Amino acid sequence: MLSVEELTDRLIDLSFAEDIGDGDHTTLCCIPDDAMGKSRLIVKEDGILAGVEVAKEVFRRFDPTMQVEVLIHDGAEVKKGDIAMIVSGKVQSLLQTERLMLNIMQRMSGIATMTHKYQQALIDAGTKTRVLDTRKTTPGMRMLEKEAVKIGGGMNHRIGLFDMILLKDNHVDFAGGIHNAISRAKEYCKAKGKDLKIEIEVRNFKELEEALAEKPDRIMFDNFTPEDTEKAVKMVNHQCETESSGGITYDTMIPYAKAGVDYISFGALTHSVKGLDLSFKAC
């Protein structure tokens, strides 16, 4: 399995290949090879900054002679007009790295900002519920998007299909029920020597009772109402972790959190986020 660093390197290489192709002819035609300059990263709206460390890697991989002065680090609250970093080096390099760096940082900062908003609202409501992401991510950018969720104060549900077992409704139906799905998951982990958490999605109280008998690590309440969620949490009674999922939004999440679930998962953190407005200007 590729490491986070290896996946990031591949993403950067692919991104440069699709953007620059056989050359940035706009830059090459009008900027001398030996021209030197500086650009600054300007924050254009309030939010949470994310992607600084990835941006440094973008610059390093394209041109190791570029110098990066970081003024604001990942996870910091930023205001419109803040200067996050100053980058010095060949003007050609500054121009050719600008768009990729901005694409990454704007998206990661948007995700971190939204995650922070959700998590802070749950804290302000007096709950201990944690915000989770999902696998509804941009292909190729999952590691960066999930890192942005953590920077914003949320938690990663799982990275992919390899680091946790999540038995959803289709798995349960194809396996022939809750008992079969969980027992087979446990047998599989034992046979393969895998130490993986097992989570099961339930759609009603009958399935919840069946799941509790099998002692999974976490139970997900799918499309439960807040009232049914509160009843379900009481039935679980701390026997395992609990999670709410299914169409829950920022505007509807507080009653679910007050029902006592440990986690609420939101696909919107990564599939519907607006990037934070940033610009990279000569200085």
Given the residues 61, 99, 117, 197, select the one marked as catalytic. 99
For 147, residues 6+ apart whose C-beta sits below 8 A from its C-beta are 4, 50, 54, 108
Is 99 in the active site? yes
Is 201 in the active site? yes
Distance of CA 165 to the CA centre of its chain: 19
Is 163 in the active site? no
Given the residues 45, 53, 82, 222, select the one marked as catalytic. 222
Given the residues 136, 150, 184, 197, select the one marked as catalytic. 136
* Cβ atoms of 108 and 137 closer than 8 Å: no
CB atoms within 10 A of CB 67: 10
Is 136 in the active site? yes
CA-based nearest residue to 242, from 208, 267, 210, 268: 208
Is 227 in the active site? no
* Cβ atoms of 144 and 54 closer than 8 Å: yes
Given the residues 98, 145, 201, 214, select the one marked as catalytic. 201
Given the residues 38, 150, 168, 184, select the one marked as catalytic. 168
Q: Which amino acid is at 99?
A: R
Residues designated catalytic: 99, 136, 168, 201, 222
